[in-house]
Amino acid sequence: MDPPSEATYYSLLNLVARADSFAPALESSILLNPSPSVGYPLRAGDHDTLIGFVKPQLIPYMESHPSVFTVSVSGVRVNASLTTSEARTAAVEAVLREWRDATLENGLKKVEDKQMFLCLKGWRNERYCVHGSRSEGVIMQLERAAVGLLGVRAYGCHLNGYTRTPEGQVKMWIAKRSDTKQTYPGMLDNLVGGGLATTTNPLENIIKECGEEAGLDIAAASKVASTGVLCFFLDDSERGWVPDTEWVYDLELPSSFDPQPVDGEVQAFHLWDLETVKEHLHKGEFMNESALVVIDFLIRFGLVTAMNEPDYIEIVARMHRSLPQPGPRFGSK
């Protein structure tokens, strides 16, 4: 996503639409009438559960790997001969590494396909779980950088860190991302945020990220309050098709708190009143996910209401989009 120009003004609905940009009509077309003109659903083996969406341009590359992908008029499947999560993970990742290397070395079938594979340049050696139905469990694990290439559901956690002045005014801590970040370099972000890797759950993950990104100790970070989850479907020229789910947390901090960049992913922190936060929102300076998390915060704290925001209903609905792929289930049941 290119940085906005100073003259650009984004309404809150503009910001939501920028994140939730995959057209529902396209989603329906792929699921009901897959074709070379719109795309194909992605499933695994004999499972009927949808796990992703495949662009038409990717099909010739998948057909070059018949031991891993089976392509038909009804869609694409991870080959049925790969009968375990571990086997699917290894086989798909080997193909992804080949595509990544071909992209870096300009060895693709068509030069114009490079844009489709750009997401793989941000390879992280970090995986997301690809979930099936309740009975199926985890279908496979997928390199985080590749979720947009295969239209697989992505996951993350974000924390709104805020404080109150003695007069009761709420101020919000905002992070400015490092200029060397693989995604959204130099843009504004929540105090803490990060992808949800396969090895952790949302609460453990946000506590870990609190220490890594803002220098919060475990005792302080453990006081985070879960406030819900946001879902949207991004269509981005570099990141690809990304159905996204973000767990949201709040943490009220003492006025003495001074966040410190720890892992190099943040170049600065700002403490702003909520009106100032809104000004930077309207300038389009926040990364997509973080903009939605901030809007959700402003709604919950009463700054954005049905009485002062004409697009209120659509904003709330589009930040809680129903995604067709199953998500994770945490807890004892």
Nearest to 32 by CA among 50, 47, 18: 50
Query: Residue 72: is it exposed, middle or buried by C-beta count within 10 angstroms (0-12/13-18/19+)?
Result: exposed
The pLDDT value given to residue 331: 77
Residue with tokens 């309404």: 11
* Structure letter (DSSP) for residue 235: E
| pLDDT, averaged in runs of 10, over the chain (333 residues) | 67 98 98 96 94 97 97 97 97 97 84 90 94 92 97 97 95 91 86 90 93 88 96 96 98 91 81 96 96 98 96 98 94 63
The pLDDT value given to residue 79: 97
The pLDDT value given to residue 332: 58
The pLDDT value given to residue 264: 73
CA atoms within 13 A on the CB side of 332: 0
Residue 2 main-chain phi, psi, to 5 deg: -70, 145
β pairing state of 40-44 and 75-78 = parallel
> Alpha-carbon torsion 25, 141, 209, 328, what sign?
positive
The pLDDT value given to residue 105: 84
- Could you give all domains of the chain from N- to C-terminal order, each with its CATH number? 12-20+154-319 (3.90.79.10), 34-150 (3.30.750.160)
Contact between residue 193 and residue 209 where contact means Cβ atoms under 8 Å apart:
yes
Contacts of 213 (CB under 8 A, 6+ apart): 175, 191, 192, 193, 194, 261, 262, 263, 265, 266
- What are residue 175's DSSP bridge partners? 189, 269
Contact between residue 94 and residue 87 where contact means Cβ atoms under 8 Å apart:
no
